[in-house]
Structure 1
Amino acid sequence: MTIIRTSNKPIGQRNRESLGQFFTPSHVADLMASWVDPLPERITLLDAGAGTGTLIAALVRRICRMPGVTKQLRVTAFEIDPSLAQPLAVCMASCQRMCESSGISFSADIRQVDFIATAAPIARGDLFAESLPSFNVALVNPPYRKIRSDSAERLHLRSAGIETSNLYAGFLALIIRLLAPGGQLVSITPRSFCNGPYFRPFRDDLLDRMAIRRIHVFDSRSAVFEQDDVLQETIIMDAVKSAEPCATIRISSSTGAPESAVHERKLPHNAIIRSTGADRFIHIPADDADLLAREWMGRLPATLHDLGLVVSTGRVVDFRARPFLRDEPTNGTVPLIYPHHIRRAMIDWPRDGMRKPQAIVRCRETADLLIPSGVYVLVKRFTAKEERRRLVAALYDPTRIPYQEIGFENHLNYIHAHGRGLPPALARGLTLFFNSTWADHCFRAFSGHTQVNAADLRAFRYPDREALERIGRAASMGELSQVEIDAIVMEIANE
């Protein structure tokens, strides 16, 4: 039997960033190929971002280990990067030899063209669009890259009724349209499409057209694409083209390292696909603690809107306001608060040794960047890749920083009462709630990226106002251990 060896080493490094390429490790490709189930007798396979052929080779290895099940494999492989043409062709030749030795008919159509430009006319039903087979299997690791609203890719997608700001979601949306009814899709992508406003159109499209059968999460961000700087969590999704959802969805996890153990559970559809008003989210609990946290969170009665509160993103984008920034406070300046100023749930300003500017000039040009002094709850928008917590909150107390106005930098969310500060007890209670272990567990299950978006905080659930004020009155800020915070929050929130 021929052994197929594929390279997932970067080829043409300088093109990778512009193309959004991240190559699939062989052991991950084998896991994805194992999810094509059942194996059709005749497979018409689409790989819309084939790279060096790793996913196709993994499926060939699988079908050749199961003689007599699949009799024909017909591959259509798109790869726009010319530096990958030769290794992809070599891989397809190896796949053909391996299939022939197992009595399986194999053919490969390698297309060195833009997948989106080719598939969008087919999706919109153009009379003279190129012809492609009706695919019953799609394996894909699509490119991950933001696309501008005026880019050629965005315009092609929009012409097919697809609205998204990232290439990977555009690829998936087109692949779904090219699948035959009952066709299987197995993809590896960032988890970011599971929630948030930017991916809502894609999420609706996916859930209307596909039935998710299985999702795999990786415990470590770095293990899957260890040679790449992948900030977001990555998931594998298995779905079939059907408007009828699966009654249960299998959730599995592993470290992502080769031969790592896979832990799996089955959960009801409505435990994973959740609705909040007109929006739908895909919630992926990592473990029993996440399930318990989410069950608890589901019993909480309020949203920020119910509490009469609003969340906004800090107005000061430092590189745009650079002429008005000062390293240290001087006459005519007001505090500029960064995430670096958060320390033990309070704001430590000014800080010694701070490398960021700590003040902003108060003038006509900066008037729209400043907010009136008051009590606010600040939440970090970004956390480090492997940071222990996702939710990190702090209380801004104007009695400690006596200025009439302040500036919050853009990497912070701030919670306010329609432009004004919060009552102190409510603000303290909300800060402690955010910093509880249970809230953090639930947010991690809810959100699959290191960003804490304002939209996520709006969709989150909270104790009612009275309970939050009682939490705030129960203890002073900055003096509690994690165990004490969790005990206070759980005791009062569960009453």
Structure 2
Amino acid sequence: MASPVKPLELTPNAQPRSANQSQFSQFFTSPEIAQFMAGLFTPTSTKTCHLLDAGAGVGSLSAAFLNRTRKLGLETIELDAFEIDSSLHSQLSETLASYQTHLNFKVHLHTQDFIHAASDWLSGNLFAQPLPRYDYVILNPPYQKIRSNSSHRKALRQVGIETVNLYSAFIALSLLLLGDRGQLVAIAPRSFCNGPYYRPFRKLLLQQAAIRQIHLFESRRQAFKKDNVLQENIILHVERGLQQGDVIISTSTDGKFNDLTQRDYPFKQVVSSSDPEHFIHIPTPHESHPSSLSSKFCYSLGDLGIHVSTGPVVDFRLKPHLRQMPDSKTVPLLYPLHIQDSQITWPQPQSKKPNAIALNSETQKWLYPQGFYCVVRRFSSKEEKWRIVASLVDPNRLQNLLFFGFENHLNVFHKKKQGLPPTLARGLMVLLNSTLIDQQFRRFSGHTQVNVTDLKQMRYPSLEVIIDLGYWSEGYKQLTQGAIDTQLATLLQ
């Protein structure tokens, strides 16, 4: 077989670019990542295959697949390459044409919108261009939100797909176009693994195919470094019609795969059969704590009698009632900026945000009564080590005022809109700042936002363990990470 063609021998510093890159939300695949993705496919019984590359770009993924045809035992390949960006068609055609002299290979270049083309065919539109059942799909889909009133949303609903982003729409349609035992490999943002917006997509994915492997890039910035993409990405390998078994979880620091590690996990550790949300957890091979400890996390917040809600004060809606500093007619208004070293530091006189909110008939319904609470930032910065940053709200540090205001960028743990018992609130704060909780959260969340749904979905140790953490922590003015993790491990034994 001939050696790889020159158009695909791109260095990371010479990635192709398009004048329409922003318009079409394109992020080109590096040669190393394309090669790794193609290497995940396994041979099937067929020697003739239909290959789909939706959003083909300049052909990097297709070429990486074609370079593996001998190892896959393929003698004849027919490719459907979809690319809507006309500025890339010349290079794409050149890349693919170079293989036709060495392989029994036929190309169909589609210049129309993949979502409309696939939806029309799958919905039974008599005027749709026919598409085959594919044996292999290799995919780097575009990343862009789908508006609720857009033509894309309408087209997807014709085939029963409800999703909010182009990348998940591309994967969903490709899954429906796969033949039995067909395989799909896609690189995509990890955001579909959790959250309510992607629940229908997760359900479709798990109904249509078995997950064979998930690859996680440990560095958020590296998969599409040249495009300044900060979304955490994964590579997903699934097979349609395969009975679900163990899942390979592999990791590497970046897209060069020099420190590649992998391990098999039972599927129940990736998706729990009792989880109606179908969250996809991605354990990592180098987690520092043994699974025997994390197995003690088996209670929901409901089991523990604890509630969590998003802070109800949306500041711009209550702007006339906000005050820069407290006075006799106000109560504390807490923002994420007031969280410092697991405690509330209030007020912050130098802050641009208000520190107080007037207490009156218009604001009281948005306030919580005085008490002990645990709060978590809804957003952490990309540079922070921990995704969950929790703090204790101690009324003794807030002048024992009758009410507190929690701004919308905080999540509040409470008991039926009332405060928690002091020791429970303190113990919950300590627990949420532990490494085990951070690792659990990272298994299903790849972004810096911490939603109420995520906190409800997580599992916690027993109420006794949390309260014991609270009693233990009372003797410390400042808790170290090592002390928290050691004490939690001791209590879980």
Q: Same fold (TM over 0.5)?
A: yes
Tell me how far 1:80 sits from its aligned partner: 2.1
Match of residue 205 from structure 2: 206
1:72 is aligned, of 73, 76, 79, to: 76
* Residues 54 and 141 in structure 2, CA contact (< 8 A), matched pair in contact too: yes
Could you give the per-residue CA deviations for residues 169-200 of structure 1, whole angstroms, max 9, x where no partner exists? 11111111111111110000111222232222
How many angstroms apart in 1 are the aligned matches of 2:451 and 2:208?
Answer: 27
Taking the TM superposition and a 5 Å limit, the aligned residue runs for 1:63-462 are 63=69, 66=70, 69-86=73-90, 90-100=91-101, 102=102, 104-242=103-241, 244-245=243-244, 247-258=245-256, 260-289=258-287, 292-293=290-291, 295-402=292-399, 403-462=401-460
How many angstroms apart in 1 are the aligned matches of 2:329 and 2:448?
Answer: 36
C-alpha RMSD over aligned residues: 2.3
Kindly indicate whether residue 34 of structure 2 is the aligned counterpart of residue 34 of structure 1. Answer: no
1:49 is aligned, of 41, 52, 55, to: 55
How many angstroms apart in 2 are the aligned matches of 1:332 and 1:25?
Answer: 60
Q: Comparing 313-322 with 144-153, which one deviates more in the overlay?
A: 313-322
* Residues 285 and 291 in structure 1, CA contact (< 8 A), matched pair in contact too: no
Counterparts in 2 of 1:285 and 1:258: CA distance versus 1, 3 Å: same
Match of residue 17 from structure 2: 10
Q: Comparing 268-277 with 4-13, which one deviates more in the overlay?
A: 4-13
3-state DSSP of counterpart to 1:83: helix
Structure 2, unaligned stretches of length 5 or more?
Answer: none
* Residues 262 and 285 in structure 2, CA contact (< 8 A), matched pair in contact too: no
Counterparts in 2 of 1:31 and 1:386: CA distance versus 1, 3 Å: farther
Structure 1, unaligned stretches of length 5 or more?
Answer: none
Could you give the per-residue CA deviations for residues 370-415 of structure 1, whole angstroms, max 9, x where no partner exists? 3223211111222222421112110111121133222222221111
Tell me how far 1:298 sits from its aligned partner: 2.7
Counterparts in 2 of 1:376 and 1:47: CA distance versus 1, 3 Å: same
3-state DSSP of counterpart to 2:279: strand
Q: Comparing 233-242 with 255-264, which one deviates more in the overlay?
A: 255-264
How many angstroms apart in 2 are the aligned matches of 1:326 and 1:20?
Answer: 42
3-state DSSP of counterpart to 1:28: helix
How many angstroms apart in 2 are the aligned matches of 1:68 and 1:260?
Answer: 24
Tell me how far 1:364 sits from its aligned partner: 4.7
1:22 is aligned, of 24, 27, 35, to: 27
Counterparts in 2 of 1:68 and 1:416: CA distance versus 1, 3 Å: closer
AA matched with 1:374 = G
Tell me how far 1:31 sits from its aligned partner: 0.7
3-state DSSP of counterpart to 2:273: strand
How many angstroms apart in 1 are the aligned matches of 2:130 and 2:188?
Answer: 27
Could you give the per-residue CA deviations for residues 312-365 of structure 1, whole angstroms, max 9, x where no partner exists? 112233444444444333454332222221111111111243233333344455
* Residues 344 and 478 in structure 1, CA contact (< 8 A), matched pair in contact too: no
Identity of aligned residues (%): 42
How many angstroms apart in 1 are the aligned matches of 2:85 and 2:210?
Answer: 32
TM-score for both structures, normalised by structure 1: 0.91
Counterparts in 2 of 1:195 and 1:68: CA distance versus 1, 3 Å: closer
3-state DSSP of counterpart to 1:461: coil
How many angstroms apart in 1 are the aligned matches of 2:97 and 2:360?
Answer: 70
Could you give the per-residue CA deviations for residues 89-134 of structure 1, whole angstroms, max 9, x where no partner exists? x23323322341x3x1222222222211121122223333321122
How many angstroms apart in 1 are the aligned matches of 2:214 and 2:95?
Answer: 30
* Residues 138 and 186 in structure 1, CA contact (< 8 A), matched pair in contact too: yes
Tell me how far 1:290 sits from its aligned partner: 6.0
* Residues 96 and 107 in structure 1, CA contact (< 8 A), matched pair in contact too: no
* Residues 100 and 106 in structure 2, CA contact (< 8 A), matched pair in contact too: no
Counterparts in 2 of 1:214 and 1:290: CA distance versus 1, 3 Å: farther
AA matched with 1:75 = L
Could you give the per-residue CA deviations for residues 180-238 of structure 1, whole angstroms, max 9, x where no partner exists? 11111000011122223222211111111101111111110101111334343210011
How many angstroms apart in 1 are the aligned matches of 2:485 and 2:71?
Answer: 56
* Residues 117 and 156 in structure 1, CA contact (< 8 A), matched pair in contact too: yes
Counterparts in 2 of 1:58 and 1:320: CA distance versus 1, 3 Å: farther
